[in-house]
């Protein structure tokens, strides 16, 4: 029971995946696909970023602004190092769907929740982690229309993407609800405090819904590519491992010590599952295995960083 309580999100995610992929009646995935086709995913993403805006501690963010060197380094890891590493990995003899999934992971910003929590657990500056995630999730609206087509084209797949449409959709589903939630923090505080569970728990349950809808629409394509799951796991371990290695090397070279390096490492290496799924559902709905890459990578980097938190706590 203790294990389930500690890893309830991953356990629930596993259950959602099994129900969606193995339901012989097709009712559960059918409902998920219907919701997906009726703007269910967009609605869930909007609500999640609205809740993220409610939850951000603005005073802590202001305290983290002074660490400009660490902020720039983390942003470099997110928007420069990660895409470059993905580009090198794309030269491997990978199926198209797996290569696309890895690129989607590489171009999205840091997660809004787990990275901040792990930074604090490892003894780092949570305020700085919050600042990094706000900046990263804001400027991705401008970086994505550049990096995603570039990586796809360099990988040998000519892709034309409407940059203006992506920017508009990101602004509608990410920036607007995030800043709306930040604006409404004080008026909504009493209502939020009366909720039986925290907004963080609700948001993680909404991720279940998002994955359920995305998997339902790609069920057939994923079932055809089950033998590739092992490859995706190894690829995810290698990709995240390289990012962590580069992050540790940079903080050592620049002389960034404990207390400040944790936010750079965790926020620079972790990737938001929400936006990766948004991109897959919007741009590549026919590539079901690309969604599997996004989900599996989320499992992998949470597991690896969980062990890293334990290591940093003991050393």
Q: By the 8 A CB rule, do 218 and 224 touch? A: no
Which has the higher per-residue pLDDT, 118 or 97?
Answer: 97
Which has the higher per-residue pLDDT, 91 or 156?
Answer: 91
Candidate ranges 7-16, 162-171, 216-225; pick with highest mean pLDDT: 7-16
Between helix 288-314 and helix 114-121 the angle, nearest 10°, is: 10
Q: Determine the 3-state secondary structure of 208 from DSSP.
A: helix
Q: What is the mean pLDDT of the segment spanning 44-70?
A: 73
Rounded distance, CA 155 to CA 304, Å?
27
CATH architecture of residue range(s) 2-314:
Up-down Bundle (1.20)
Rounded distance, CA 265 to CA 250, Å?
10
The reported pLDDT for the residue numbered 75 is: 94
Please state, rounded to an integer, the average pLDDT across all residues of the chain: 81
Q: How many CB atoms lie within 10 A of CB 120?
A: 17
How does DSSP classify residue 221? H
Q: 75-90, pLDDT tens digit by residue?
A: 999 999 999 999 999 8
Rounded distance, CA 54 to CA 185, Å?
5
Q: Provide the residue ranges of all domains of the chain, joining segments of one domain with +.
A: 2-314
What is the pTM assigned to this prediction?
0.74
Q: 274-306, pLDDT tens digit by residue?
A: 788 778 877 787 777 888 888 888 878 877 887
């Amino acid at each position: 029971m203790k294990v389930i309580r500690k890893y309830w999100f991953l356990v629930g995610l596993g259950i959602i995946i099994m129900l969606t992929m193995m339901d012989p009646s097709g009712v559960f995935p059918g409902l998920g696909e219907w919701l997906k086709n009726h703007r269910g995913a967009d609605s869930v993403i909007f609500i999640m970023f609205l809740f993220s805006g409610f939850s951000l501690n603005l005073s802590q963010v202001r305290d983290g602004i002074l660490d400009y060197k660490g902020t720039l380094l983390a942003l470099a890891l997110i928007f420069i190092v990660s895409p470059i590493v993905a580009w090198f990995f794309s030269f491997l003899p990978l199926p198209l769907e797996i290569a696309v999934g890895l690129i989607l992971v590489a171009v999205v910003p840091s997660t809004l929740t787990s990275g901040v929590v792990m930074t604090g657990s490892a003894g780092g500056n949570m305020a700085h982690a919050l600042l990094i995630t706000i900046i990263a999730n804001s400027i991705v609206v401008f970086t994505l229309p550049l990096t995603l087509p570039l990586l796809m084209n360099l990988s040998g797949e000519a892709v034309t993407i409407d940059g203006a449409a992506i920017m508009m959709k990101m602004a509608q589903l990410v920036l607007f609800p995030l800043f709306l939630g930040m604006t409404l923090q004080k008026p909504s505080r009493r209502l939020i405090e009366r909720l039986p569970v925290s907004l963080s728990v609700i948001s993680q349950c909404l991720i279940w819904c998002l994955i359920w809808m995305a998997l339902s629409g790609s069920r057939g394509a994923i079932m055809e590519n089950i033998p590739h799951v092992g490859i995706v796991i190894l690829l995810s371990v290698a990709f995240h491992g390289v990012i962590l290695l580069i992050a540790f090397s940079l903080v050592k070279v620049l002389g960034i010590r404990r207390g400040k390096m944790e936010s750079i490492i965790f926020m620079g290496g972790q990737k938001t599952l929400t936006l990766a799924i948004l991109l897959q559902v919007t741009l590549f709905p026919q590539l079901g295995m690309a969604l599997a890459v996004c989900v599996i990578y989320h499992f992998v980097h949470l597991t690896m960083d969980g062990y890293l938190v334990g290591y940093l706590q003991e050393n």
